[in-house]
Amino acid sequence: MTLFPSDQLRCSLVQDNSKHNSINYVLSRADGTIPEEVEIGQDDWTHRYPREKKFFNWKFLDHTPDMKAKVQIRAFQEAFNSVQKITELSFDYEKNVNVKTDLTVEWLEDIEKFNSKLSVLAHAWLFYPNSNKNGIMEFNDTKESKWYFTALGWPVEAYLVDPINFKKGDKNLDGTLIMRGSQPTVKIAMHELGHILGLRHDLINRGSMMYPSVSRSYINNKIQKKTFYWDSITSIPRLTESYGSSFMIDEHLSRWRGRRIRESTYRRHA
């Protein structure tokens, strides 16, 4: 029987309402307390998956109604592929929910699972030997939180985010639809996967996927593609040190990134 160690850390992705263009990431224990050793630059978590483990399979335990299932599958595949392209790891989607997998994605509707914190977007558990929490990635899909998830975080009509205060077709004084920002599932999944693989926050490099706060995916309705990339300064070296390198040259990696982050890839399933 596997155990849940009391000092296994959980990474929560939190929306900071005081900074509308930021998303903040914090670590906490199961009881919600913040350990003193958290936020210490690039120092990583003590524990790792065994170096000989190169293959991970993953599944959804359920889906969010915010996106079609095909969009959700593609979004998480892109997040996992972003690590697969730069390391020796590989990730495979498992359709059968009854099959035991290394990683699980779950959309939770119970706010208590997030310590009743409406600001939490998602959390994942850092690896701990023999723990039954390993590989778990949970998203806050509660009605209280009012989060609306899309693949890349593009703006959506306000009623989708807040149906209580807005209705479909509501417009501004200038006649344009009232829009609100959604949450970028691909980016959130990339960050949480980094924690599952043992990466802690990077307080030094602001361009890092593991930096405690990141700007939104869209600025003036234009996608910021670079916010979906693992940076070569700290993130990629930290991953390849633990899980080997794919040795993909920068030119090929750049081409792949350009093909990967395309709105049309997701919108055709929306």
Section 87-112 average pLDDT? 94
**Which structural domain range is residue 71 located in?**
10-267
Residue 1 belongs to some domain of the structure: no
Q: How many domains does the chain have?
A: 1
Residue 5 belongs to some domain of the structure: no
Residue 206 belongs to some domain of the structure: yes
E strand residue ranges, the chain: 10-14, 22-28, 55-60, 90-93, 103-108, 120-125, 136-140, 149-150, 156-157, 179-180, 183-184, 213-215, 218-219, 222-223
Residue 4 belongs to some domain of the structure: no
Angstrom distance (rounded) from CA 262 to CA 270 = 13
Section 24-49 average pLDDT? 53
Angstrom distance (rounded) from CA 7 to CA 28 = 10
Residue 127 belongs to some domain of the structure: yes
Residue 2 belongs to some domain of the structure: no
Residue 263 belongs to some domain of the structure: yes
Residue 3 belongs to some domain of the structure: no
For the chain, give the percent of residues with pLDDT over 70: 81
Structure tokens given for 110: 């119970």
Q: Check residues 111 and 22 and name the one with the higher pLDDT.
A: 111
User: pLDDT digits over 195-227, tens only?
Assistant: 899 888 777 777 788 876 656 788 777 888 888
pLDDT at residue 25, as a whole number: 42
CATH code at position 256: 3.40.390.10
